[in-house]
Amino acid sequence: MMEYEESRTREEDINKTAIVKELSVSDLVKNGKEWNYEWITTAGKDHWLASTWKILYGNSPVFSQTSCEVTAAMIRWKFGCDDWIELEKMKFKDVMDKYLLFQITIGTNDVDQEHVITIYKNHIIQSYFDRYPIRATRIDKQLIKAIDNISSLTSYLEITGGMEYYENIDELKVFYWVPV
């Protein structure tokens, strides 16, 4: 972690300026299912996720409540962060030390995504399609190690709370996205 002068705090030096609103982790979890639905029917109504929800899933609450991408989009919307950039060649701990809020896509490249999670206030916030709605997990050393070593089944299971993934597991990478 970086050293700070006595007059500055970590939160003053990180991407807090990009965050329009500040929410608690517990608010995100408590209201997540409702906010996911609100996003997909209002701000996200023209997004490809809303089309997928309507056409492929017949407006099923399972999709709106458990899609990791809907959850990530809802979080971006709730924080008022519309513009995000990808960070390259960084380790998870370095990103976490510098940014209060960021998202990680997990996939074989930055377009082909298997899963997306949000990191906020030292928690992983995520849902997993058809398995569980939004929840938060406090980040510990084991999770940091898992994120930095994503291309193993053990790491993927650790990050996602036991969800299995076998297709091209050895090709998985993490991509960091921060609001600007």
In this prediction, residue 20 has a pLDDT band, given cuts at 50, 70 and 90, of low
Structural domain includes residue 92: yes
Give the predicted TM-score (pTM) of the model.
0.88
Number of domains observed in the structure of the chain: 1
Structural domain includes residue 136: yes
At residue 128, the pLDDT reads 97
> Which structural domain range is residue 163 located in?
23-179
In this prediction, residue 136 has a pLDDT band, given cuts at 50, 70 and 90, of very high
Structural domain includes residue 5: no
At residue 21, the pLDDT reads 75
Give burial (CB, 10 Å; 0-12/13-18/19+) of 42: exposed
pLDDT of 38 above 90: yes
Structural domain includes residue 6: no
Structural domain includes residue 76: yes
